[in-house]
Structure 1
Amino acid sequence: MNTEAAPFETHVVFNQPPPFPECNLWRDDRVLREAVAREGGGAFATALDDYGALAGGELYRLGFDANRNRPLLRTHDAQGQRIDAVDFHPAWHRLMDAAKAHGVAGLSWRQPQPGAHVARAALSFLHHQAEAGSSCPLTMTHAAVPVLRREPALAEWAAKAAAPHYDPRDLPIAQKPGITVGMGMTEKQGGSDVRSNRTCATPLAGEGEYSLVGHKWFLSAPMSDGWLVLAQAPGGLSCLLMPRRLPDGARNGFRLMRLKDKLGDWANASSEVEFCGAWARRIGAEGRGVATIIEMVMLTRLDCMLGAAAEMRMALAQALHHARHRRAFGRRLVEQPLMANVLADLALESEASTALALRVARAVEAAARDPAEAAFARVATALGKFWVCRRAAGFVNEAQECLGGAGYIEESMLPRLYRQAPLNSIWEGSGNVQCLDVLRALSREPQSRQALLRELEQARGREAAYDAALDALPPLLDGATVAEAAARRVAASLALLLQAATLLRAGSPVAGLFVAARLASPPPPAYGMLEASVAFADILERAVPAA
């Protein structure tokens, strides 16, 4: 190789990895393909293949533009009229249009055949790798549909939320082929304690109609056509739909106060809002707001888990691409034993996270017809949301380190992933909320406890270390009281066992290695501590095939 510089040139560029290539995120992901087939979504393989190519090509490129050009709030127009509009870069609109058209927000409702929820989860997983911020309105739109369907008067809202059409125009929904739906639960004095909300819902003359007055510390996706909100009605905390535009076209009575200046999630908008006599329609009974909206929360928590797993997957792909092309000390980085150890350990974590997320997606899909799967989904969603989301930030940081200083530079995707990674662990209930939810399920809901134990027991007999770890659990699963302060330790142990059980039952070739690496006592404090005898190259080829 000629490394001599031309006269007056200071350097020659060499030993630099090529740009991350366009790829088909579905075809390159053997673990995802196996999980979708195993959990019942195989009939949608063609649709997933199509979206994998789109997400790994055009949408991946657009993600950079959408994040460089953040949304802007315009409270008034040039004539001084209040408009409360959020302006987005064209890249954002194309991302949303592609996602809606391909079913990221509606496949499971439009094609309610077996496996549709699993396939929709995989679509979300693929999309999130290209651009994570747009997953917020897509997730909430998808999750709002079953709540909207509870109220016959909102049938048009439910149908258009599930429709494969994106229409960002500020119009009444009767004039739009498709809509998006956001959420407004959090108030500054309560956070996750939504029962402390102070927003007031005053009944109007129309049946189920209310006037809202109050303040929301977070109104997610303020560009949406409507929002599901929680407010205090005379009968207690209630769930209501608040539209942006009234049926006659008039603006509803709300004011966007500011867009939140966030650590990450730059392409997406989050806001603070005041309700100034905003019209809303109640969904469900007064005082049953949490019970009404909980189905939406279950679905959004699943998507938090999927998003964290998707971020791991993309971070691993970026790190492995770099290591396969960069040379140091006479060898490619991927051939350096310690680097190979780190990458293989990341691949283990990524596979376990993907497998668990898709298993939970199957349980969520089956919940309506199978009480045992519903009971399992109840506890597994909280476990997975806590653990997978908790692991994502450290995972992405380790992947950054594989690139060295280049992983800290914005021209790489890894800084964006690193900013994004903490969000899923905070959004829809932080880690403590999830862990306490696990304790409640174990102590108060025998069916959930039994479903979890049954899932874990079905993996018995395949690995002695797994069986030994499982044998230590029965006291926890017999309804014994567990101190709240121990909730994280309990949830982490159960989540690791559940990941191991999922891999063992799937017959994954890395299942035994995962058991040895994650169920050891004490567990390794960092990635890259697998036994030196492990066939690192085989694990990496399974994770991301070499180009």
Structure 2
Amino acid sequence: MAATTHTVSNQVPPLTGYDVFAADRALTEAVRRHTSPGLLAEVRGELGELGRSAGSAQAQEWGAQANANPPVLRTHDRYGHRIDEVEFHPAWHRLLGHAVGAGLTDAWGRPGGHVRRAAGFLVWTQVEAGHGCPLSMTHAAVPALRTDPALAAEWEPLLTSTVHERGLRPAARKAGVLLGMGMTEKQGGTDVRSNTTRAEPLAAEGEYLLTGHKWFCSAPMSDGFLVLAQAPGGLTCFLLPRVLPDGTRNTFAIQRLKDKLGNRSNASAEVEFDGTWARRVGEEGRGVRTIIGMVAATRLDCLVGSAALMRQAVAQAIHHCTYRSVSGGVLVEKPLMRNVLADLALESEAATVLAMRLAAAYDDGSASELAFLRIAVPAAKYWVTKQCTPLVAEALECLGGNGYVEESGMPRLLREAPLNSIWEGSGNVQALDVLRALQREPMALNAFLQEVGRARGADHRLDGAIRDMLTELADLNGIEARARRLAERMALVLQGSLLVRWAPPEVADAFCASRLGGDRGAVFGTLPHSLDLASVVERARPVAD
């Protein structure tokens, strides 16, 4: 081929060699807002280090390698012994080890722990989301284990360790461990009360043998799992170690790994228990109440994970349009493309601000903040995770045909995007949980209304949306069929309230006009042309100050 026919021009340089944290203004401002002044320098320092690693070519290569080389199940060794081990590509372990070392499994015992962890999780999972599952579950297991002080004393220091130690050994012989979760079964799905796995008590207090199955067991290479099973006193939570204290393998038969749409670098498995030893967590018959703290924390991580995917998609789209020229100018300066990018940026910032506000509520820990979380987490998880997929698809389109090519990384983001709306309860589960909180926990609604009310009078469109939401809440006719509509309204009103209080005027104005004032079409890129869209796009551009 003649070299003269292969001149490469008007191609976009890779988005690499930058600080993912510092380049995200919405996130850096949220960290500053929700972190005490005496702690801010330390937190910004650790997040800056993580952000620079996330933006490096090396980390991005690890993400691509981990995605291209999915885990492999080894049921037997060469001699025919059952081993049930899952092998991961070294790049996946490098990503996971870096995350553990950065404290992304430790939020409960550090000052400002939830804000700094959520920010770190949002930054680092932009590299590759597939290793986020074990990070999330290991972190979220802590509140469940704390219902049993003896178990917590034994396991919590290992769960919050900054050491990722590979290999199956007794937990007591490791410097750090990972914890997974197994709740759903074939016949029940989200209806965990229909679980059939049996738990037979042994003579020793708190010890049981489990027999049954789990249809989805996340991160099956973990050192232990929180599972639900039917004990004599009803559905109960158990801690099931992969390796017993004496060094022998617990009975944990991995039947197969799921072949998933996305999240390819992470393993999800079907497992069988047959006389599998486990320890009770909490009281018999109170399994759901025991494990609900873990579920709430992982739901927040679904929200943070979606915010991370949104941010990376928007960063890639704006970066591409900043360098790509068409019809005599760069794309980012074309009015219609600017409208699309600004609309995407609004959605991304609203997700980030909301996620960090909820993380700050965990750090506060007061009764009013916990009540607020009870209703805000399912509403926010419902809405933000739903918005993730159309946003990523639109961002991919901004790259044109280049975005449809695997090398761009955008197809991987798109395959990942639907996941968080399904994990830890799909859309209907979240919407119905909002109704459950409204009906059973009046303090939750009061706390929510107090939060959104802090911005009353600042924007007439927000005030109108709050009035419409209150009208919806006052009408109980057909409330279950309207649960999604109500959850959406609550999430949008909450996002609007936060942006009016904390975002720059051009961001808050555009959000309220389009999301609350109704001046927007059905797809991205239909914002009112009179808004300051150039400032919205510039704010979201992935260039550190």
TM-score when normalising by structure 2: 0.96
- Matches of residues 175-324 of structure 1 in structure 2 within 5 Å? 175-324=173-322
The AA in structure 2 aligned to 1:49 is G
The AA in structure 1 aligned to 2:216 is F
- Report what 1:47 is aligned to: 46
User: How far apart, in 1, do the equivalents of 2:378 and 2:215 lie?
Assistant: 24
Q: What whole-Å deviation, never above 9, does each CA across 1:506-529 have from its counterpart, x for those lacking one?
A: 143311210001012375201111
- Matches of residues 71-82 of structure 1 in structure 2 within 5 Å? 71-82=71-82
Q: What whole-Å deviation, never above 9, does each CA across 1:222-267 have from its counterpart, x for those lacking one?
A: 0000000001101100000000000000110120000100000011
1:546 to 1:92, Cα distance in 2 relative to 1, 3 A: closer
1:412 to 1:172, Cα distance in 2 relative to 1, 3 A: same
Determine if contact 1:443/1:479 at 8 Å carries over to the other structure.
no
User: How far apart, in 1, do the equivalents of 2:83 and 2:379 lie?
Assistant: 42
- Matches of residues 149-160 of structure 1 in structure 2 within 5 Å? 149-154=146-151, 155-160=153-158
Determine if contact 1:86/1:222 at 8 Å carries over to the other structure.
yes
- Report what 1:141 is aligned to: 138
1:100 aligns with 2:96: no
Structure 1 residue runs of 5 or longer lacking an equivalent are: 1-5
Which is worse superposed, 317-326 or 34-43? Answer: 34-43
Q: CA deviation at 1:276?
A: 1.1
- Report what 1:535 is aligned to: 532
- Report what 1:37 is aligned to: 32
- Report what 1:70 is aligned to: 70
- Which of 91, 116, 119 is equivalent to 1:119? 116
Partner of 2:78: helix, strand, or coil? Answer: coil
1:209 to 1:523, Cα distance in 2 relative to 1, 3 A: farther
1:409 aligns with 2:405: yes
User: How far apart, in 2, do the equivalents of 1:479 and 1:229 lie?
Assistant: 39
- Which of 126, 135, 139 is equivalent to 1:129? 126
Q: What whole-Å deviation, never above 9, does each CA across 1:275-325 have from its counterpart, x for those lacking one?
A: 011000000000000000000011000000000001000000111111111
The AA in structure 2 aligned to 1:12 is T
1:163 aligns with 2:161: yes
Q: What whole-Å deviation, never above 9, does each CA across 1:345-393 have from its counterpart, x for those lacking one?
A: 10011110100000111112223xx111011000010011000000000
Partner of 2:108: helix, strand, or coil? Answer: helix
Which is worse superposed, 430-439 or 358-367? Answer: 358-367
User: How far apart, in 1, do the equivalents of 2:516 and 2:150 lie?
Assistant: 51
The AA in structure 2 aligned to 1:26 is F
- Report what 1:506 is aligned to: 502
Q: What whole-Å deviation, never above 9, does each CA across 1:131-180 have from its counterpart, x for those lacking one?
A: 10111000000001222232233222111011111011111111110000
User: How far apart, in 2, do the equivalents of 1:296 and 1:119 lie?
Assistant: 19
Partner of 1:134: helix, strand, or coil? Answer: helix
1:394 aligns with 2:385: no
- Which of 345, 352, 355 is equivalent to 2:353? 355
- Report what 2:416 is aligned to: 420
User: How far apart, in 2, do the equivalents of 1:265 and 1:511 lie?
Assistant: 33
- Report what 2:21 is aligned to: 26
Percent identical across equivalent pairs?
54
1:163 to 1:513, Cα distance in 2 relative to 1, 3 A: same
Determine if contact 1:442/1:479 at 8 Å carries over to the other structure.
no
Partner of 1:271: helix, strand, or coil? Answer: strand
The AA in structure 1 aligned to 2:223 is D
Determine if contact 2:519/2:527 at 8 Å carries over to the other structure.
no
User: How far apart, in 1, do the equivalents of 2:313 and 2:542 lie?
Assistant: 15
Partner of 2:463: helix, strand, or coil? Answer: helix
- Matches of residues 431-450 of structure 1 in structure 2 within 5 Å? 431-450=427-446
User: How far apart, in 1, do the equivalents of 2:452 and 2:521 lie?
Assistant: 23
The AA in structure 1 aligned to 2:330 is R
Q: CA deviation at 1:473?
A: 2.5
- Report what 2:11 is aligned to: 16
User: How far apart, in 2, do the equivalents of 1:539 and 1:137 lie?
Assistant: 35
The AA in structure 1 aligned to 2:299 is R
Q: CA deviation at 1:331?
A: 1.2
Determine if contact 1:182/1:220 at 8 Å carries over to the other structure.
yes
Q: CA deviation at 1:18?
A: 1.2
Which is worse superposed, 530-539 or 74-83? Answer: 530-539
User: How far apart, in 2, do the equivalents of 1:116 and 1:308 lie?
Assistant: 20
Aligned positions, number: 537
1:451 to 1:110, Cα distance in 2 relative to 1, 3 A: closer
User: How far apart, in 2, do the equivalents of 1:250 and 1:439 lie?
Assistant: 46
Determine if contact 1:443/1:480 at 8 Å carries over to the other structure.
no
Which is worse superposed, 47-56 or 255-264? Answer: 47-56
1:545 to 1:171, Cα distance in 2 relative to 1, 3 A: closer
Partner of 2:180: helix, strand, or coil? Answer: strand
Determine if contact 2:126/2:308 at 8 Å carries over to the other structure.
yes
Determine if contact 2:469/2:486 at 8 Å carries over to the other structure.
no
Which is worse superposed, 441-450 or 129-138? Answer: 441-450
The AA in structure 1 aligned to 2:13 is P
Partner of 2:80: helix, strand, or coil? Answer: coil
User: How far apart, in 1, do the equivalents of 2:524 and 2:417 lie?
Assistant: 17
TM-score when normalising by structure 1: 0.96
Partner of 1:429: helix, strand, or coil? Answer: coil
